[in-house]
Structure formats: C-alpha cells, structure tokens
Amino acid sequence: MTAPGRPEAAPELVARAREAFGWGEDVVVTAGPRGALGQIWRVESGAERYALKEIFAEPPSAAQVVAELDLTRRAAEAGVRMPASLPDRAGRHLLPAPGGSWLRLYEWVDLRPVDPAGRATPGELGALLARLHRCAPPSSAEAGGGRPHPWYDRVPAPEAWERAAASGARWAERLARRLAWLPELTAAVTPADPAALVVCHRDLHPENVLAGPGGGLVVVDWDNLGPAAPARELAQALFDWFCDGSGPDLGAMRRMYDAYVREGGPGRITGPADFSMLVASRLNFLLLQAGVALDPEAEPRHRAWAEREIDEMSRLLPDPRWLAEALELLGGRAQATEP
C-alpha cells in the first residue's frame, strides 16, 4: 500500500520488491528524493524502514556492485558514514523491476541537506574527502575491466551540440550562449595519468553528501564509483559545493582544500588539467539531459526532470575565469598546509 496524498510507486514495482525482500502485506511505500537517474522510495515494513532505489538508467554491473561494497567497507573503516546496501532474500544487491528499471535496497537514514555556507562545512568536507581518498585502492580500470569512462575526461564534440542549440526549446538560446565558451573551457581537458588513479565516488555534489541525525556527514549514491585522480575529484567537489553560478567562493574553497591537505588527502591541484573531471562531467551531463528533454519517446516525468536539470547545469557551467581564479588561489597552497 501507499500513504494517502503522496506520489505512489507503481503497484507492480511494490509487488516485486515485497516478493524479493520478504515484506508483508502491511508495507507502506512513499516517495523520497528523486535524482536525474533514479527515485528513492521510503519503505515501512512493520517497525523497519528502508530506502528502495529505483534506477531508471543503465544499472551498475555486477562487478561495479562488488567494487562498491569493497569501497564502502573501506570507507566505513576510515570513519565515513553511508547507508548500508542490503541484499534481497537471494543475496542480490541489484534486481530487475517491472518496466525496465532496477532496484537496490539500503537502510533508511534520516538525512537533511548540508548548508554550503555553514561555518564548519568546508572543513568537514575537506576531511571527508581526504578519508575517502586515503582508503581508496588504486585502480586504472573500471570495475570489470576497460579504460576509465570517457564521461570524466572527454568532452562532447562541437557538432554534438547542434541539435540542442537549434531546437527552439526555451533553454536553447541560453545554451547556445554558454557554448561560445567551449573552446577555452575545454582546452585543458585530458585523460589522467593511469598511475595516479584510485577508486573514487565521482559524484560528491550536495545531493549526495548530507547531514545525518547527529549532524555528521553521510555519503549516498555510490553507483558511479570508479577510477579517478584524487586531485580531479577534489577540484570537482570544490566547484560542486562552492560555486553557485555567480562565481566561486574562494574563501570556502581555500578552507576545504586546506582541511583536505591537513587530513592527509593525496590530491594536489597544480594545473588546468586538474579541472578535467569537473568540465567533462558537467558538459556530458548537460548534453545527456538535452537529449532526454528533446526525446518524444521519453516518459513525461523524465522530460520534465531533464528540463529542470538543463536550467541548473546551464547556470552552473564554470566560466574559464573562475577556474583560473581557483587555480591561482589553490595551486600554491599545498606546501604551506602540509601536515
């Protein structure tokens, strides 16, 4: 059943989950947070509460789930908090659902957003990222094999944007203006040195780092983990948290970076290429959402979500001048803040 007056999960999805996880007839499912690629459903089964994640996009591979369980175990031992992934009655951490989506189950944790402007936020984030990077195993390949995903170090070709920019959609003109920056913005985007890669979360934006019941940081949504250079994930996190589209908060970036270095984080921002992950992932995400918004066969709920994501990401695309300002500030700080 579902709670009255709330968005409802499809009955066949609830039935599939009940069967897989052994829930009774009294299970209550209500809508939780939604992301670009998935929906969280809050599940109450007797006295137990769970987070059921419905994945709309391509699900993680079996090898990626194994890598996630390994990294989250290491991270937990290093003091990082996250909701535990829970298997179904057959021991699976990923199972197909009706309609082509996929399901994962986690323990429910009451979470709330972290205020980027909070006095303690930069230091707490820097320390968190340092713990994640210190415990991460080296890896120059995606889980199951293959070079690091081009999403993080390759940008779309100029012609890939033509359909979206000329679509006549309400956001097309703004997108076209932002695309004028692309040659300068993407000039330094390059693959990272394979020897420098470790297994990283790769998606540590504010919707995936939240405050738990005691106020401590909790990391969610590990589905995109894979090889990345620590410096590049650090640079991406700095802009995810402390650049709202009107320019970077250089003071907050400095405090987060200093905390990361003090806590033993291995990454150091030393050149324009360290922003490759930031630039490539934002451009690839923007192009993906433009494709969804213009796809007449996409579900209306997915097209509507894509429209909102396009508005936000068009605003958040970094100005090349902001990258230069951050590099000037941070490039010389590592030596001064070494433990």
Element housing 83 (H / E) = none
Q: Per the domain annotation, does 295 fall within a domain?
A: yes
Domain count, the chain: 2
The last residue of one of the domains, among 76, 107, 138, is: 107
Residue written as tokens 């590049």?
232
Residue written as tokens 């994962």?
104
Q: From the CB of residue 309, how many other CB atoms can be counted at a distance below 10 Å?
A: 19
Same domain as 99, residue 147: no
Rounded Cα distance, 228 and 199, in Å: 6
Same domain as 314, residue 271: yes
| Digitized pLDDT (tens) for each residue of the chain, 339 residues in all | 444 445 578 899 999 999 999 999 889 999 998 876 789 999 999 999 999 999 988 899 999 999 999 999 999 999 999 999 999 999 999 999 998 999 999 999 999 999 999 999 999 999 999 999 999 999 999 998 999 999 999 999 999 999 999 999 999 999 999 889 899 999 999 999 999 999 999 999 999 999 999 999 999 999 999 999 999 999 999 999 999 888 999 999 999 999 999 999 999 999 999 999 999 999 999 999 999 999 999 989 889 989 999 999 988 999 999 999 999 999 866 555 554
Rounded Cα distance, 47 and 232, in Å: 43
Same domain as 244, residue 102: no
Indicate the pTM of the whole model.
0.92
Same domain as 79, residue 131: no
Q: Per the domain annotation, does 256 fall within a domain?
A: yes
- Residue 120 has φ and ψ, to the nearest 5°, of -90, -10
The last residue of one of the domains, among 72, 107, 142, is: 107
Same domain as 189, residue 242: yes
Domain hosting residue 68, numbered range: 11-107
Same domain as 211, residue 94: no
Rounded Cα distance, 43 and 54, in Å: 12
What is the CATH number for 18? 3.30.200.20
